[in-house]
Structures are given as structure tokens and as C-alpha cells.
Amino acid sequence: MNYKAARETMVDSQIRPNDVADPDIVSAFLKTPREAFVPSSRKPVAYSELEIGTSEGRALWTPRDTGKLLKMAAIRPSDIVLVVGAGAGYEAALISHLAETVIALEESSALVEAMSDRFASLGLDRAVAVEGRIAEGLEDQGPFDVIYVCGMVETVPEAWTRQLAEGGRLAVVTLGEDGVGRGSVFTRAGDAVSPRHGFDAFPPKFSQFDRQKAFVF
């Protein structure tokens, strides 16, 4: 299979038509081999308009959703970025072409080791994988210019917003009580963090951040 051609087709059919035309983001998608981040059995469909499971509770989103959230995050070349729930590391790899440094946070030592090997094999020297609890972020390495979350959430942990630098952005898809997922960016200004909602999306969810269910008598 010609993965380079498939990557170009993905960009032309799934990224640019969905209002993601920023040259740096487009270039990041073209430089990042998506097939390197999926199980071997799924490589033939790596560039399809699909969500692809990579490990328990982790998945690559559709290219459209990833591209649109990257656009909302407005990552700059000088930014330090934390990727939460990085899974196989695809989003961190993309961001490594946009930011100064990207730290990929995962809870499993096996995932962290696999990511580290993958980053090394692809020559991604701006990306590093770290083990830790995703709900806690990585306070000792913060504050961060951008925190990018690789799963939809119903609630946003205060630990994440607390670790944003002044003007920092938390990019995440939030699931509203109306059942609609929305690409969102929470921006810190002083002690306040204000949300801005954009595109509708329904990527795989991190269930550990679900709202507590109210008892009904």
C-alpha cells in the first residue's frame, strides 16, 4: 500500500474540506505516518474516515476531529504542550511538528514504553512520553501553554486548568448535558478560565470523567 499517497488523500478529502487549511497543521498531517500508530491489522484502513482503537480505552479519532481540535488549540512554535491520555502517541507526534516541546502523558508503563520507541523510530526529538495519572495532569512539569486531551469528557478536572500558563489553552471535546459533544478551548486569563465552543464531534470518551449520576427516588 502507498501510505504516502493515502496520507495526501486524507489531507485533501478529510482535513482541508473541514476548514483546516493552516499550512503548519496540514504539513504536520503530511509528515506524520498514521499507519505507525495503529495495530497491524488496521494499517490498511489507517487513513480512512474512521476512529481506530489502539489499546484498551484509547483510540485515534477521525482525522477531521483531530484537525479541527488542533486548529482550535492554536499551537505556536514556542509552546510547551501536554497531551493527556496520549494512547499510541499520534496526536503528540502531530503536535511535535507545531510546538517547541510536547509531553505525552499516559497511565500505563507499557503504553509509555511503546510511545517512546515509536517517537525514537520516527526521529521525533521534540516529543517525550511520561507515565502518570491523567486526571492529575503533570503539575511538576507545568505550567503549559497548551493541554490537549485525547478523549471526550463530561467534566473537566480542575487540575488541568490549574496547570495552564497565563493565556494557556485547554483543548478538549466536552460532552454537554444535552448529549452533544463540542470541540472546546478553555483559556486562562489571571485566575479565570473561560470556555469557547466550536465544532460538534463525538469521539471516544474517557469514562473516568463522567458526571456523577443523581439518585432518583
Instruction: Give the model confidence (pLDDT) of 9-68 as tens digits.
Output: 999 999 999 999 999 999 999 999 999 999 999 999 999 999 999 999 999 999 999 999
Per the DSSP assignment, residues forming a β-bridge with 129 are 104
Q: What is the pLDDT of residue 215?
A: 53
Q: Using DSSP bridges, classify how beta strands 192-200 and 181-189 pair: parallel, antiparallel or unpaired.
A: antiparallel
Please state, in angstroms and rounded to a whole number, the distance separating the CA atoms of residues 176 and 24: 31
pLDDT on residue 127:
98
Q: Tell me, what DSSP letter sits at residue 171? A: E
- Number of helices (H), then strands (E), in the chain: 6, 9
The CATH number of the domain covering residues in 63-209: 3.40.50.150
Residue 212's pLDDT is: 81
CB hemisphere CA count around 55 (13 angstroms): 16
Q: Is 208 helix (H, G, I), strand (E, B) or coil?
A: helix
How much is the pLDDT for 1?
A: 87
Low-confidence ranges of the chain (pLDDT < 70): 214-217
Note the pLDDT of residue 217: 54
- State the sign of the Cα–Cα–Cα–Cα dihedral 136, 142, 143, 146: negative
Closest CA to 66 of 49, 44, 41, 43: 49
The pLDDT assigned to 192 comes to 93
